[in-house]
Amino acid sequence: MDWCHNSAMPAAPHVHDDAVRILDSTLRDNSRPIALLVGAGAGCSILTPDGPLIPAIAGLTDLVRSTVTPRNGSLSILEASFVADGKSGATIEDWLSRVRTLLTIVGSSDVRGLDAAALEGLEKSIVEAVAQIVAKDLPDEQGGYGEVARWAAGFDRSHPVEIFTLSYDLLMEQALERAQVAYFDGFLGSFQPFLDLRTMEEDTLPTRWARLWKMHGSINWKMKDGQAFRTADWSSANIEGALIHPSHMKYDQSRRMPYLAMQDRLRAFMKQPGAAIITIGYSFGDQHINELIEEGLRVNQAAVCFGLLFDKLANFREATEFATRSTNLRLQAPDAAVIGGREGAWERGPAGGALPNLGDFNEFGRLLARLTAPRS
């Protein structure tokens, strides 16, 4: 054998049964802080006769384009600016980030072919189109959402379950309330619940209360007199002014504050000894979220992140690079994994059979259902 060519040898496989067992035991451990980070892909898991209940970011972008373009020509100008910059596949999040960046510098002139009025109108049109599309009721067949809610209610814990979601919809809220799970989302009150930063920071609520943190805002968040509040009317008739998608710009500090507060919650969670966060429906495409997770894993070597991917590992190169430099990120795709910083295909364990795709929100829900099922 020519030992000089070891680097060309196939990487040793990872045992899928072992990986599932470790995830299972982590989710059962009521003594450690556990969180879920639920990405926009979760909404795709609920299928209707017309397709996914809520499409993932690419599908959502297509729907917003078809809604906004006929009545607002500024979107075509904005998209042309991405093409001119050599950036293909820009999404609604890219659009809103650029619009809000341009608003900080436009002044009384115009920039990239758009003046302040056009930019403000475009931002409003995009946000309202997104809100119209995602303002959906959770069906009776709740899929992974229902199982997450039942799991959150199913144990006595030393630490509260924390759910970080990147979606703007209210599917998780509906699932938690149907299961009668008490939860805190940062807002207090009944008539017009307001964002209470002190309660978020002190976090002295009972551990049986789940925490729900909406990292990118929500269709039922609004602003009034510089204060974020939650409205009870989130129907398509009352979507104007929905506070969605993070705006990191300094031109509007009051709008920026809710997002900073949610980021602080993720940062604080990652600092806890033994913290375990499971990502589902998340492609690791949000650099800001990635930085928060990576910083937490680097600072707290006792923390762990399970990144459950829906598609083949080769489609997530950025996530793979992240996992190879962060050995406490366990990246698990249907065909392969990066565990302990090493990439390798799956090897079936003694149980044999087809490998479950835990990156599918419904399959992950079935795993949670097994955890909460009565022991015989």
Reported as a single tens digit per residue, the pLDDT across 82-92 is: 999 999 899 99
- The answer, yes or no, to whether residue 235 has pLDDT greater than 80, is no
* 242/309: higher pLDDT: 309
DSSP symbol at 173: H
CA 344 to chain centre: 26
What pLDDT shows up at residue 42?
A: 92
CA 366 to chain centre: 20
- The answer, yes or no, to whether residue 46 has pLDDT greater than 80, is yes
- The answer, yes or no, to whether residue 237 has pLDDT greater than 70, is no
Q: How confident is the model at residue 6 (pLDDT cuts 50, 70, 90)?
A: very low
135-140 long-range contacts (CB < 8 A, ≥24 apart) are 135/169, 135/170, 135/219, 135/234, 135/235, 135/236, 135/239, 136/53, 136/54, 136/169, 136/171, 137/174, 138/46, 138/170, 138/171, 138/174, 138/175, 138/178, 139/46, 139/48, 139/53
Range 330-339 average pLDDT: 97
Q: Does residue 211 contact residue 163 with C-beta atoms inside 8 Å?
A: yes
Mean pLDDT across the chain? 89
**Which stretches of 154-211 are DSSP H helices?**
171-178, 197-202
Range 113-124 average pLDDT: 94
Model-level pTM?
Answer: 0.91
What pLDDT shows up at residue 238?
A: 61
Measured between its terminal Cα atoms, the distance across the chain in Å is 53
| Cα–Cα distance list, 333 to 187, 282, 328, 345 (Å) | 36, 12, 16, 9
Q: Indicate the domain borders of the chain.
A: 7-54+138-372, 57-134
Q: Does residue 197 contact residue 261 with C-beta atoms inside 8 Å?
A: yes
Percent of the chain with pLDDT over 70: 91
At 207, list the tokens.
């551990």
